[in-house]
Chains A and B, each alone.
Chain A
Amino acid sequence: MKSLVKEFTKGIIKENPTFVLVLGLCPTLAVSVSVANGIGMGIAATFVLLGSSLIISLVREFIPDKIRIPCYIVIIATFVTIAELCMKAYSPALDRSLGIYVPLIVVNCMVLGRAEAFACKNNLARSFFDGLGMGAGFTLALILISGIREFLGSGQILGHTLIKGFEPIFVFGMPSGALLVIGLLLGFFNFLKNRKA
């Protein structure tokens, strides 16, 4: 039981997919304009990660090594399509603002990375907690990045204006702002890690 908790918590800090493993940066850069987008993307990626980790862990004895990659991709793509259809049906506004980045979760290296590095070697319960932890770590990283970007770039958080008279720094709403925020945060987390060591 203790080890399961560990599988879950490592994804959040010690092996955070965005700041430590540096996986899945493409959607992180692209959708982190607002917190709402960050949460939506985080949930969609967590759903896909959980679903694919579970199924892959379940069928790992059955799938021959030589064709594992195409099998994983088919499984991942299935979950991505489910996520996309549900988003279109129940939250069309979120679907419109995330756009092409939802179907692109298929090629998100974080999802395939966990399938290759963890789910295909571990049992169902461990894979489930690994997927959940990684998904949570990814979602939290997205919320942090998009929170900083939304606040600086538009003066708001989740559409609410925080400080009156604050002149938004447009550059943080643009792609260059995403690179700037992620670069500085990566530097900051590495600084903390080095100081601890």
Chain B
Amino acid sequence: MKEIIRYGFILGLICVLAAGLLAGVNALTRAKIAEQKQAEEPSALKEIMPQAAKFIPIGQAPELLYYKAFDSQEQLIGFVFKASEKGYSSVIQTLVGMNLQGTISAIKVISQNETPGLGMRITENKFTDQFKNQDSLSLSDVQAITGATISSQAVMNSVIKKAQEIKELIENDPFDSAQVMLSELKESRSMKSNLIVSGSPHIHNKESVSRIMWTVVLSLIPAAVAGVIIFGWDALWVTLVATVAAVLTEWICGLLTKKKVTISDGSAVITGILLAYNLPPNVPLWLPVIGAVFSIAIGKQIFGGLGQNIFNPALVGRVFLMASWPKYMTTFTQPLRAGAGYDALTSATPLAILKEGKILEHISYWDLFLGKHGGCIGEVCILALLIGAAILLIKGYISWHIPASFILTTAGFTYIFAGVQLFHGDWLFHILSGGLILGAFFMATDYVATPLTAKGQLIFGVGCGLFTAIIRIWGGYPEGVSYAILMMNATTPFIDRYTKNKIYGTK
């Protein structure tokens, strides 16, 4: 009892001393803090309207309507108001300066949380400077940012809407209405009939890691041919550069870590090709180089090389590029047409068009199947991908479990939820567009990072399908195949633990 009192006393004493000290510091800094707060708002206002000397808020504090800006001679020179509207992923707030003629003096985005590298570009001067001297009620010469149409449009709409309101307010203001106008490889892992888990003796066959890998490379060739036919020679260069960079990186990593150099097994070649297949055809050539280096060095070698990586290396590289240079990763060129030169036009992918809420025109299921639309090099031609997939399935290098469950889940889920109402989704469109077929047959079937047993593979495929559909329908990006596969790669050790075959006689 005595102890408790003593402890309480000591603790209390420390608290009292602390409180006293804080009170002192607070007294010293309070005035300065208040002063700093006050200095903030006018500096933002001043950026919008540099020529004004004084701003007078109109309306009461929680419902501040706008500011009237006066020059040094107390002459009314314009208005500053806050405009806000829901953008792609957040509410965007913009501070707008407008002069007496209803034209905009400058705008500044003061609060937003849009996708970095895409929607976030609305804060760049390149975008905001376009508003200068525009008529606030039409904004006719303002161009939306490529890949960020929704965010740009939100800014424009909010400005127009608010300018209209302000104009009405001012016109109804009896005082100055007159002057204002406004406004991962375990060998034979995952191979369906080839994976026979049995006691010895074992019979040796001629299969080896490198044989399988080179067959996979062969199966990827039709898609490369299709890519070149559709997008021109640029597609071939991007693929070659990515492959060479991936093989060189594998070789250098082998030398640096003083381990056996494993470039002859062909796995780095596959990573390079798959990475290139996930890139738009007209990217600058340094992009596939950096992507390939990242895929092999960080995606694979850092975990210990082939058979140790927890994620599909090609997808690791793609996601890295997507997060780093979204502007190149989302600028797609239109397929070549007769008569059109090599200076390809940019066009959005069918999924991106759908995401922006526009209606798809002139694109039939047949065009989607043949790949006559904008997209990544290796994903567009479903016909070529299916020829490659057939080789792998017939040789028994991949099993049907993952691709089938992946594709069916995506189709089912999009059929239910992607339409205007339930059970009206265009499931065939969702199978044929984007990277679903490439992902389901060539990336989700990676031996290293996917589950061992058939049951595990079915769970894996369903998970991939669900994530893909969820991202496509409600996510921030138009396509979700790569993210879906990476997320399910992360769950593979867990799925393997619960689905592994029971050893006979054990519990």
Contact = CB atoms under 8 A, between A and B. Distances in A.
Contact of A88 (B11, B22, B29, B324): B29
A171 B18 contact: no
Interface in B282-334: 298, 302, 320, 323-326
Contacts of A62: 10
Interface stretch (A11-19, A41-49, A76-84): A76-84
B324 A170 contact: yes
Given A70-B11, A82-B25, A86-B25, A75 B18 contact: yes
B interface majority secondary structure:
helix
Nearest to B29: A89
Contacts of B320: 171
Contacts of A88: 29, 33, 36
Interface in B25-48: 25-26, 29, 32-33, 36-37, 40
Contact of A82 (B6, B21, B117, B324): B21
Given A62-B10, A63-B10, A88-B36, A174 B29 contact: no
B10 A169 contact: no
B11 A74 contact: yes
B14 A92 contact: no
A3 interface: no
Contact of B22 (A59, A82, A172, A180): A82
Contacts of B57: none
B474 interface: no
A171 B324 contact: yes
Contacts of B22: 78, 81-82
Contacts of A90: 32
B169 interface: no
A62 B29 CA distance: 31
Given A78-B22, A170-B324, A171-B323, A85 B117 contact: no
Contacts, number: 67
Nearest to B17: A78
Contacts of A81: 22, 25
A173 interface: yes
A67 interface: yes
Which of A59, A74, A81, A89 gathers the greatest number of chain B CB atoms within 10 Å? A89
Contacts of A167: 325
A90 B325 CA distance: 37
B7 interface: yes
Nearest to B323: A171
B25 A74 contact: no
A93 B26 CA distance: 19
Contacts of B29: 85-86, 88-89
B116 interface: yes
Nearest to B117: A170
B323 A176 contact: yes
Interface in A2-30: none
A131 B37 CA distance: 33
Contact of A169 (B33, B36, B37, B324): B324
A162 interface: no
A89 B36 contact: yes
Contacts of A173: 116
Most chain A beta-carbon neighbours within 10 Å: one of B15, B18, B22? B18
B21 A92 contact: no
Interface string B183-207: 0000000000000000000000000
A44 to B, nearest CB: 14
A158 interface: no
Contacts of B33: 85, 88-89, 92
A148 B388 CA distance: 42
A187 B36 CA distance: 43
Contact of A170 (B25, B302, B325): B325
Interface string A151-193: 0000000000000000101111110100010000001000000
A81 B29 CA distance: 12
A66 interface: yes
B324 A71 contact: no
A179 B114 CA distance: 22
A92 B36 contact: yes
Given A88-B29, A171-B320, A174-B323, A71 B10 contact: yes
A197 B33 CA distance: 52
A64 B324 contact: no
Q: Kindly name the residue among A59, A70, A171, A180 whose own CB sees the greatest number of chain B CB atoms within 10 A.
A: A171
Interface in B75-117: 116-117
A173 B325 CA distance: 12
Interface in A84-112: 85-86, 88-90, 92
Contacts of A74: 11, 14-15, 18
A171 B298 CA distance: 14
B324 A92 contact: no
B379 to A, nearest CB: 22
Nearest to A86: B29
A89 B29 CA distance: 6
Given A85-B25, A85-B26, A167-B325, A174 B15 contact: no
A77 B298 CA distance: 40
B116 A170 contact: yes
7 contacts: A63-B10, A63-B14, A71-B11, A81-B22, A92-B33, A170-B324, A174-B116
Given A62-B10, A63-B14, A176-B323, 8 more contacts: A59-B14, A71-B10, A75-B18, A169-B324, A170-B324, A170-B326, A171-B324, A174-B323
| A-B complex: 9 closest residue pairs judged by Cβ atoms | A89-B32, A89-B29, A171-B323, A78-B18, A169-B324, A92-B36, A171-B324, A85-B29, A170-B117
Interface of B: 6-7, 10-11, 14-15, 18, 21-22, 25-26, 29, 32-33, 36-37, 40, 116-117, 298, 302, 320, 323-326
